[in-house]
Amino acid sequence: KVRHWRGKARVKALKHMHELLTNADKAKAVTHIAQEIAMMLRTGPKCEELYCGGLTQHVRTEFSKTLQLLVKITSQHLSQCSETVALICIIPFSRFLSLSLSLSFFLSV
């Protein structure tokens, strides 16, 4: 039950991050928001804690969407987001994330 609750909380947090990134350009705070979100994502989705909760796939999907948007925004503001690029580079990599990153054109696989 706790793992299910934790999974729901993670999905909700990732959706909020996605929304923040979506509206960051309007707020003229792209570099600050992108860097803070990259700091939060740098440890990866931590799905190993959620296997019994049933929301592992949802967390991975939301993590992937948020990471794709972060990479897209960072690539549009590359000169201001160099620290964010460094943080993206240390996010734990998995086969699941390889598809996300290749779709966002950050890496060519």
pLDDT tens-digit map of 24-66: 877 678 889 999 999 988 887 777 666 666 777 888 888 888 9
Q: Taking Cα atoms as reference points, which of 39, 21, 26 lies closest to residue 75? A: 21
Check residues 25 and 101 and name the one with the higher pLDDT: 25
> Could you give the angle at which helices 82-89 and 30-41 cross, rounded to 10 degrees?
10
Q: How many other CB atoms are found less than 10 A from the CB of residue 19?
A: 12
Which value, to the nearest 10 degrees, does the dihedral of the CA atoms of residues 25, 26, 27, 29 take? 10
Residue located via tokens 């939060």:
40
In the chain, the percentage of residues whose pLDDT exceeds 90 is: 16
Enter the pTM of the model. Answer: 0.77
